[in-house]
Structure 1
Amino acid sequence: MSTAGRAAPAHLGALYPFLYAQPAPTVDAFTAELVVSTAGKLREAALLRAQVLTEQGEALAACARSLAVALDTGGRLFAFGNGGSATDAQACADLFAAPPHGYGAPSLAAYALSADVAVLSALANDVGVEAVFARQVAAHARPGDVAVGFSTSGNSPNLVAAFDRARRCGMVTVGFSGGGGGRLAEPGAVDHLFVVRSPSVHRIQEAQTTACHVLWELTVAELCGADGRPSAAQGVLADDRNTGAACAGR
């Protein structure tokens, strides 16, 4: 279909001027447009982060207390998600297991269920994509562990299945979602849910990353106490007994 004479969408006309009748904008005009667009996105991201922390700050603190109790008594954290949310899950696990230098935070037993390509592809091929996280939870988890799932919609079937298995295993369940929360917002779906109310996948993931960092900082504060010294949780990483068989048959 010819585009001659048609008005170009702002974001396409500049990138593909040969498709449209109007001349391409000058470099200065294009740069100015990019600056305005970038500034607008930064403002939106900052406002959304502030909104999440203001509206859900108390819930984050309550969740941190639950995580501190779980991790301080031998619990382990398992994080999972799909696509970009898989990367967020890995970042979450890394934050707990290998905290930034200078924080004085303990290294805690934390793992990303989205990290092992061999396990993921085997489960997806032999069982189905819906089971890639739930099967790992059944294999590794024990009562008192923590399950953290990331989703921009809250409707991913494999996350819902993983949380269902986690509940039956007696795990503390923590969900990060977007939009209206999706299926993760249903009663009893998870113990702690943090919803970024935005239609933009990009803004949702940015705010979820911030909320996860805040959750980690609050958890570390609960674990270390006022004197800043780690409690027994610092030894959790070495105490990594695999007693997940108790959950596998439930």
Structure 2
Amino acid sequence: MVAKWRDSVAVKTRFFEAHGNDVLRAAQLLAEGFRHGGRLYTMGNGGSSCDAAHVAVEFQHPVTAGRPALPAHNLAQDMAMLTAVGNDVGFDEVFARQMPGLVKAGDMVLGVSTSGNSRNVLRGLEAAHDLQASTLALAGGDGGAMARSASVDLTLLVDSDSIHRIQETHVAIYHVLWDLVHSLLADDRPARASAPKGRTP
């Protein structure tokens, strides 16, 4: 048990020591989008879908007093849309088909995939890029197709072959991103009302 805990800490430490500047770049990209009226869209599969949903709710419903809600939407939450596209077109297109009706130039789209090879997430990022949205990816291992795609502006890559360690580090990354984005936006507007009571972390 101690060995696993140490490994978990070590993977996260290595990531932030090696990629701290990339995390800051990602935060700057998101902050710039929000600053100009952009909306964040997130997507993933399985556990990564849960992480994508977590990212969206953190921005939409902030837990920290004085930090305002920022527009974010999880693309996996509409089951009617997912099943319609999956049945009629194919599961690879469940995110890409949502882009034209939702995403505009200046928006931000975040794809989460431990392997970087989730075809539907990559197709979503490609469709978002074609619409002139900023595109980010959280991945692991060698980053797969997402790390090599010209449609992804920035990939934050966790150097591990353990799905658990990758997912744990993704959680740390997006919480740090959330904090950095709000810090970058803090000078742009006055503090607003505190987060609603009863917020569940």
TM-score scaled to structure 1, two decimals? 0.74
Whether the 8 Å CA contact 1:183–1:189 is kept in 2: the answer is no
Alignment of 1:1-250 (within 5 A): 38-102=1-65, 104-225=66-187, 229-230=190-191
SS at match of 1:135: helix
Whether the 8 Å CA contact 1:223–1:230 is kept in 2: the answer is no
Whether the 8 Å CA contact 2:15–2:158 is kept in 1: the answer is yes
Q: Distance in 2 between matches of 1:218 and 1:44?
A: 26
For 1:204-241, what per-residue CA distance to the aligned partner results, in whole angstroms no more than 9, with x for missing partners? 0010110111111111100113x98359xxxxxxxxxx
Q: Distance in 2 between matches of 1:160 and 1:63?
A: 18
Q: Call closer, same or farther: CA 1:41–1:164 in 2, change over 3 Å.
A: same
Q: Distance in 2 between matches of 1:210 and 1:189?
A: 25
Q: CA deviation at 1:126?
A: 1.1
Q: Call closer, same or farther: CA 1:101–1:215 in 2, change over 3 Å.
A: closer
Report the number of matched residues: 192
Structure 1's consecutive aligned runs of 4 or more residues displaced over 6 angstroms after TM superposition are: none
Q: CA deviation at 1:177?
A: 0.3
- More moved, 145-154 vs 184-193: 184-193
Question: 2:196 — aligned with what?
Answer: none
SS at match of 1:80: strand
Whether the 8 Å CA contact 2:43–2:110 is kept in 1: the answer is yes
What amino acid maps onto 1:229 in structure 2?
P
Q: Unpaired segments of 5 or more residues in structure 2?
A: 193-201
Task: Tell me: higher relative CO, structure 1 or 2? Use CA pairs within 8 A at least 6 residues apart.
Answer: 2
Whether the 8 Å CA contact 1:154–1:177 is kept in 2: the answer is yes
Q: CA deviation at 1:69?
A: 1.1
Whether the 8 Å CA contact 1:174–1:193 is kept in 2: the answer is yes
SS at match of 1:153: coil
Whether the 8 Å CA contact 2:111–2:122 is kept in 1: the answer is no
What amino acid maps onto 1:191 in structure 2?
D
Q: Distance in 2 between matches of 1:222 and 1:153?
A: 30
Q: Distance in 2 between matches of 1:213 and 1:140?
A: 25
What amino acid maps onto 1:168 in structure 2?
D
Whether the 8 Å CA contact 1:147–1:163 is kept in 2: the answer is yes
Question: 2:195 — aligned with what?
Answer: none
Whether the 8 Å CA contact 2:44–2:76 is kept in 1: the answer is yes
Q: Unpaired segments of 5 or more residues in structure 1?
A: 1-37, 232-250
